[in-house]
Structure 1
Amino acid sequence: MRDAYTEQLDELAGFLAGMCNDVATAMEKATRALLEADLQLAEEVIAEDIHIDQIRYAAEEKAFALLVLQAPVATDLRNVVSAIHGAGDIERMGDLALHVAQAARRRHPQPVLPAEIAPYFAEMGRIGVALARKAVEVINTRDLAAAAELEADDDAMDDLHKHMFTVLMDRNWSHGVEAAVDVTLLARFYERYADHAVAVARRIVYVITGQMPGPLSV
């Protein structure tokens, strides 16, 4: 029975890793849609979001079944509880990618971003996707060093997010209120996406060590 239980826990982790891969792909597509005013890509992200939601529900059902039927304790209990919370974090990452895609669709065929702002969002997209991919690695390997790296990698996203306020407050901003609102919201979407990826890594640290970290450390 223990072997079967371990397999169920591994399957639960597989759900989370698969979800995390999906939201990385979603943000990758959404960023391209944003930068290239690609309506087809935006529509793909929007349509595929329901699949991410369905995986979350399936993961939560499996986790609740383990709680009820197996009454896990210690590390096993941390595994199950962290999976429930982690599924929520990852599903939220999918929602944030969805918001980016919806912005691209809303402004199509016009570009959402002023040309000089676009490179910042290309970098935000790159960092966000890399964080999600690294979160997959952390889920699969339970590598504390890789988990700690996510915290440091997230600093670059935070710096870009803060820089957007400097850009928007510049007296030479000439793109109007509508563009400023788009830039503000989109920067927040990327910043929150990265925060949720870090939260996933923190939950794995909790599973391994029994302590929820502040700043991640090994």
Structure 2
Amino acid sequence: MRELFQQELQEVQERLVEIANLVAEAIERATRAFTESDVSIAEGVIASDKTIDELAVELDELAINILARQAPVARDLRVVVSALRVSASLERMGDMATHIAQLARYRFPDKVVPKSLRSTFAEMGQLDVQIAKKLAELLRTQDVRIAEEIRNDDDRIDDLHLSVFDKVLGETWKGGAEDTVDATLASRYHERFADHAVSIAKKVQYLQTGDWIPVEGN
């Protein structure tokens, strides 16, 4: 029975990694759609979100089934409960990627944001892709050093997020109301995507070290 239980815990981890890889693919494609104003890629991201949602539900059902049958305790219990919370965060990350893709689709064939902000959003997108790939690796290896890297990347995204607000609220901003709304929403989606990754990284770090490190805003 113990061997079966360990196999089930391994399956939980593997499913989390699978979802994380799909999320990384989604944000990479959403960033391309946003940057290149590619409606075909955007629609693909939007359609693929259903797969992420379904896999998250299946993982939740597996975790709940394990709780009911195995009644885990101590660290094993924390692993299963954490998997439920990580699954929810990954699902939300998929949603953020979808929202970014939706902005690209709505504004097609135009670019989503004015030229003055495109380099900022290009960097935010690259950082989110980097974070998502690191997150998948963290879930696969449980290497807490990767968690620190994710937190550092998130700090940079927070800085960029604030710079977007400074730009659209500044006296030199020449964008219209639509540009202001799009820039604000897109920046928020990128920032929240990274925040969910940090939240997951904290949980993995805690499971491996027993240390809970507070993160501002999470």
Q: Structure 1 segments of 4 or more deviating over 6 A?
A: none
Give the whole-Å Cα distance in 2 for the aligned partners of 1:61 and 1:155. Answer: 34
Give the whole-Å Cα distance in 2 for the aligned partners of 1:101 and 1:213. Answer: 33
TM-fit CA distance, 1:206: 2.2
- State the secondary structure of the residue aligned to 2:202: helix
- State the secondary structure of the residue aligned to 2:68: helix
Deviations 1:92-124 (A, max 9, x none): 000000001111111111111112211111111
Aligned counterpart, 1:197: 197
Deviations 1:166-194 (A, max 9, x none): 11122121121110110001000000000
TM-fit CA distance, 1:213: 2.1
- State the secondary structure of the residue aligned to 2:75: helix
Q: Return the letter of the residue paired with 2:123.
A: E
Give the whole-Å Cα distance in 2 for the aligned partners of 1:116 and 1:182. Answer: 14
Q: Give the alignment's TM-score, normalised by structure 2.
A: 0.96
- Answer with 85-94 or 129-138: which moved more: 129-138
Give the whole-Å Cα distance in 2 for the aligned partners of 1:15 and 1:128. Answer: 21
Q: Does residue 1:143 correspond to 2:143, yes or no? A: yes
Give the whole-Å Cα distance in 1 for the aligned partners of 2:6 and 2:213. Answer: 25
- State the secondary structure of the residue aligned to 2:16: helix
Matches within 5 A, 1:1-218: 1-215=1-215
Q: Give the alignment's TM-score, normalised by structure 1.
A: 0.96
- Answer with 180-189 or 148-157: which moved more: 148-157
Deviations 1:51-77 (A, max 9, x none): 000010011001001100000011110
Q: Percent identity?
A: 44
Give the whole-Å Cα distance in 2 for the aligned partners of 1:97 and 1:85. Answer: 19
Q: Return the letter of the residue paired with 1:132.
A: A
Deviations 1:23-62 (A, max 9, x none): 1111111111111110100000010000000010011001
TM-fit CA distance, 1:203: 1.0
Across the aligned residues of Structure 1 and Structure 2, the Cα RMSD in angstroms comes to: 1.2
- State the secondary structure of the residue aligned to 1:117: helix
TM-fit CA distance, 1:211: 4.2
Q: Return the letter of the residue paired with 2:30.
A: A
The aligned length equals: 216
Give the whole-Å Cα distance in 2 for the aligned partners of 1:160 and 1:21. Answer: 25
- Answer with 177-186 or 145-154: which moved more: 145-154
Q: Return the letter of the residue paired with 2:212.
A: M
CA contact (8 A) 1:167 1:173 kept: yes
Q: Return the letter of the residue paired with 1:5.
A: F
Give the whole-Å Cα distance in 2 for the aligned partners of 1:145 and 1:47. Answer: 34
Structure 1 unpaired stretches of 5+: none
